[in-house]
A and B are shown apart, each in its own frame.
Chain A
Amino acid sequence: MTRPKLAQDPQTATSLEQHHERRLAHLEAKIAEKSTDRTEAFSDGVFAIAITLLVLEIVVPRVAGGDGERHLPKDLLQALAHEWPSYLSYVLTFVMLGSTWINHHIMFNYVVRVDRMILAFNTLLLLVIALNPFPAALLAQGIADRNNLEADPHSLAIASIIFSSVQIMGGVFYNATWLYAVRRGLIAKEADPKQVKQLTRISLIYPLIFVISIGLAFVSPEASLLIYVLVPLAYVLPNSTDRF
């Protein structure tokens, strides 16, 4: 493979050409050394399966008991509307996992080599990712129990604490993967140190926010739900680490 000729003089080189050159150098590094391709493909698979299995936690309304197993209740519209906690929890968890995937994607724009340890950290992250349908179901139940007098009044708080704890575990392994890669020089040589620092900062804040949401759950579990809405949105917004 021959490299396309690019302007040598940095003054005349357009930013696009520079971008392509960096991209190419980055590609060559990937080919020469232990590439991250399979790690990315495997992670994509786990993320995709976890995010798609969330739909199985949404309850299909039905008439209770005996023959009614597969029959819909009389007023379907009302019955569907009644399941709103399931939909809310589905969207929240989907957006949460989706934003983690986007950030994982950005992280592996920087990480160009893998070794045994980083694979282990990444797999631990995936362990938590794949676990997410469970806290999602608990959260839906917790929200539904708010208006149920027979249910545990702390149902939502407990669900929220478990949900946040899972996000913290994910955040910890995400940080372990990233910090290990930075320590061991598994990231691209061309990477801008400023961007690397920024990425570290962004990753470290993530689990801390969920520590706060656990604290909030004791005061107002609803407020911790607000965090679940806002945090993934913040983590989807463009920032200075995107251009690489």
Chain B
Amino acid sequence: MNVDPNQQEQLVAERQLTRAPRQLRRDRGVDRLEAFSDGVFSIAITLLVLDFHPPAEGSRLADGALLPQLLDQWQVYAAYLLSFVVIGVTWVDHHLLFRYVSRSDRVLLALNGLLLLIIAFTPYPTTILSRALGNSGDQQNLAVAAAFYSLVVLLNGIFFNLIWHYAVRHHRLVDRRISSASLDRLSKRFIYWPFFYLDSLLVAPFSPYISLGIYLLVPLSYAIPNKADPLRPRTNKQPEQKELAS
């Protein structure tokens, strides 16, 4: 692998910045923002479980009826998994974003609030979706539910990008020592999200199942190794451990 030594040096320096323990950063600018956001993410992702109901609530189950009844609720599990992945993936990228963005201002807090508005809302379209999958005879309802779901997640992607672009424009809330090239790489990584979701919104009225299938592409894209990703697991070849110790 041929890497320009200057570029390598820059990358090492940036890794140190983005991985430095907080107290060395002099600025606690985003600590509370992260704590608050983590709270909303974790509660929203946990509230998804409220859609689960024990089969035949309030009445006795016939012998051998439990398994088929549990399997009969597959759409609840599917919607749960889907939203868990959507919120989880957003959280991972939110985490990544705030390794770069180290200061906050009122506008950033407000934009972040808009993202959280959507994250906290996600359990609702999830419930609608699982119910629509439940009465599968009704294709029109399913299309509406899939489109509603797509719309919410599309807004999620748009607000996420708004936060990022507001913060990195002219290094507004990012350490000056981080290169524009690195920021651009991340911009590219974040920007294709909303387009995925826009696709699924447009497809929803025609084929709800394809629309939902598009969501599975997003976590798949996470399995593709990405050189720009500072959260990528370290290999022994990387010299940063020594650099950090010195």
User: Which A residues are within 8 Å of any B CB, using their own CB?
Assistant: 20, 23-24, 27, 40-41, 44-45, 47-49, 51-56, 58, 60, 62, 70-72, 74-77, 80, 90-91, 94-95, 98-99, 101-102, 105-106, 108, 236-239, 242
Q: Is B163 an interface residue (CB 8 A)?
A: no
Q: Which residues of B contact A55 (CB under 8 A)?
A: 44, 47, 120-124
CB distance from B133 to the nearest CB of A (A): 10
- Contact check, A52 vs B47: say whether CB atoms are below 8 A apart: yes
**Which of B26, B27, B109, B120 is A94 in contact with, Cβ under 8 Å?**
B120
User: Would A94 and B135 count as touching, CB distance under 8 A?
Assistant: no
Residues of B with C-beta under 8 A to A76: 128, 132, 138, 140-141, 144-145
How far does the Cβ of B2 sit from chain A's closest Cβ, in whole Å? Answer: 37
Residues of A within 8 A of B140 (CB): 75-76
Minimal beta-carbon separation of B26 from chain A (angstroms) = 6
| Interface presence of B134 (CB below 8 A) | yes
Is there contact, CB below 8 Å, between A40 and B135?
no
Contact A102–B110 (Cβ < 8 Å): yes
**5 A-B pairs in the complex with CB atoms less than 8 angstroms apart:** A55-B44, A77-B144, A94-B113, A105-B109, A242-B105
Contacts of B50 on A, CB cut-off 8 Å? 56
Q: Which residues of the other chain, B, contact A54 by a CB distance below 8 angstroms? A: 120
| B131–A94 touching, CB < 8 Å | no
With a CB–CB cut-off of 8 A, which chain A residues contact B32? Answer: 40, 44, 105, 108
Given contact pairs A71-B134, A72-B141, A77-B144, A102 touches B121 in the complex (Cβ within 8 A): no
CA of A100 to CA of B116, assembled, Å = 15
User: Which residues on B sit within 8 Å (CB–CB) of A238?
Assistant: 105-107
Residue B70 CB within 8 A of the other chain: no
Q: A44-B39, A48-B36 are in contact. Are A72 and B124 (CB under 8 A)?
A: no
- Bin chain B's interface residue count: 35 or more
Which residues does chain B contribute within 8 Å of A60, judged by CB atoms? 124, 127-128, 131
A236 and B144 alpha carbons, distance in the complex (Å): 34
Could you tell me the distance in whole angstroms from the C-beta of A162 to the nearest C-beta in chain B? 22
Q: Considering the chains assembled together, what is the distance between the CA atoms of A239 and B105 in angstroms? A: 11
Given contacts A44-B36, A52-B120, A71-B134, contact A23 B113 (CB under 8 A): no
Assembled-state Cα–Cα distance A23/B131 (Å) = 52
- A24 touching B43, Cβ below 8 Å: no
The docked-state distance in angstroms from the alpha carbon of A179 to that of B70 is: 56
Q: In the bound complex, how far is the Cα of B148 from the Cα of A40, in angstroms?
A: 36
Closest 9 CB pairs of A and B: A48-B39, A98-B113, A76-B141, A52-B43, A76-B144, A44-B36, A44-B35, A52-B120, A77-B144
Instruction: Identify the interface centre among A75, A80, A90: most chain B CB within 10 Å of its CB.
Output: A80
- Residues of A contacting B109 with CB < 8 Å? 101-102, 105, 236
